[in-house]
Amino acid sequence: MSLVKRLAYVEIEATDLERWAVFGSEVFGCERAESSTCDCLKLRIDARPWRIMVSRGPKEDLKTIGLELADRAGLQQVCARLEKAGHPFRMATRDECAARGVYEMCLLTDPSGIDLELSYGGLTQPQQPFCAAVGHGGFVTGEQGLGHLMLVVDDPLRVQQFYGEIMGFITSDYVSTRNYGGLAGDFIFMRCNPRHHTLAFGSLPIPRRLGHLMLQVNRIDDVGLTLDRVHAHGFRQTRSIGRHVNDNMLSFYVESPSRLQFECGWGGLEMAPDDTDVKLFDVTSVWGHKHL
């Protein structure tokens, strides 16, 4: 059983926060949090204070991944595993925890150089229900968390071992294809809750760590409506609508203002606790998802 329970939040560093506000709110239907500033855009998709933070800076890439555990015992167990493995970490200060809206937190860097924040006791605000910026049926979060990330890493097997042995992530399957937009692609998909995968890892010739971030909607129509808004607001669709072979997600991809890919999906596979068979696929999609 995974000690990490879900993807809690992400922080992205970008230069054009004004365009990001349009992308997040007017296209994807996120709610701009009241605590946003001119240098820090915070986007809500449920009763959490925020799930996506876009902070002003030159990176144009993923800055931090926030992973959530159930309680202090889980956090202490992960810290013990980190210490045993000789992997450096430190406990966050009270102010750092308050800034993230968590009760307690551990800070570290994963083997690929991505900053991780492991926490429990995430602030929830049911007194402030999520209110989408456009007509929207909401997002799939809850026990499944924010969504999923595909990360570009130099050594996928090493990263897989780290998240498996330290965090308790379970490998769902592998995809090894000779035609990923004209490139060879080998990907590892790992889960920590019923969502088919929370993290995926691959080695690709692109100069960024975030391959894509997927947000899953409750209604299939919101996939189409989001796609309409992509074109209405002048953003670039990068992959056509299709259905993935492993998690069954019906989705499309679009380029954010930082040229990072976002996936809007519906109908993702939920894994049963006793489904332990690891699979191998030679394509990423049953149909569609053509690179545009």
How does pLDDT run across 121-165, given as a tens digit for each residue? 999 999 999 999 999 999 999 999 999 999 999 999 999 999 999
Tens of pLDDT along 205-220?
889 999 999 999 999 9
Task: Give the pLDDT band (50/70/90) at residue 118.
Answer: very high
| pLDDT for the residue numbered 183 | 73
Percentage of the chain surpassing pLDDT 70?
100
Fold of the CATH domain 142-288: 2,3-Dihydroxybiphenyl 1,2-Dioxygenase; domain 1 (3.10.180)
257: its two tokens: 């203002």
pLDDT tens-place string over residues 23-77:
999 999 999 999 999 999 999 999 999 999 999 999 999 999 999 999 999 999 9
Judge whether residue 89 has pLDDT over 80. Answer: yes
Distance (Å, rounded) from C-alpha 253 to C-alpha 114? 23
Q: What's the whole-number mean pLDDT along residues 88-108?
A: 98
Query: Does residue 6 contact residue 198 with C-beta atoms inside 8 Å?
Result: yes
Identify the pLDDT of residue 81: 98
The predicted-structure confidence for 158-184, as pLDDT tens digits, reads as follows 999 999 999 999 999 999 998 777 777
Q: What is the reported pLDDT for 178?
A: 84
What is the rounded distance in angstroms from the CA atom of residue 199 to the CA atom of residue 147?
A: 9
Residue 196 has pLDDT above 80, yes or no: yes
Cβ–Cβ < 8 Å for 248, 269:
yes
CATH class, domain 4-120, is: alpha beta
SS3 20: helix
Q: Which residues contact 73 (CB under 8 A, 6 or more apart)?
A: none
Strand order across the 210-216 sheet? 279-281, 170-180, 183-191, 199-202, 148-152, 210-216, 261-266, 250-255, 237-244, 285-288
What is the model's pTM?
0.96
Domain ranges of the chain: 4-120, 142-288
Confidence band of 291 (pLDDT split at 50, 70, 90): very high
Residue 148: name the closest of 2, 6, 13, 3 by CA: 6
Task: Give the separation between CA 105 and CA 72, rounded to whole angstroms.
Answer: 9
Let me know if 174 is exposed, middle or buried by CB neighbors in 10 A (0-12, 13-18, 19+): middle
pLDDT of residue 180: 78
Q: What angle do CA 103, 45, 141 make, to 5 degrees?
A: 75
Per DSSP, the three-state class of 243 is strand
Average pLDDT, the chain: 96
Q: Given a cut of 80, is residue 113 above it in pLDDT? A: yes
Strands (E), the chain: 4-14, 31-32, 40-44, 52-56, 61-69, 90-91, 104-109, 115-120, 148-152, 170-180, 183-191, 199-202, 210-216, 237-244, 250-255, 261-266, 279-281, 285-288
CB 195 within 8 A of CB 139: no
Q: Which residues pair with 216 in a beta bridge?
A: 265
- Angle CA(165)–CA(208)–CA(206) in degrees, nearest 5? 105
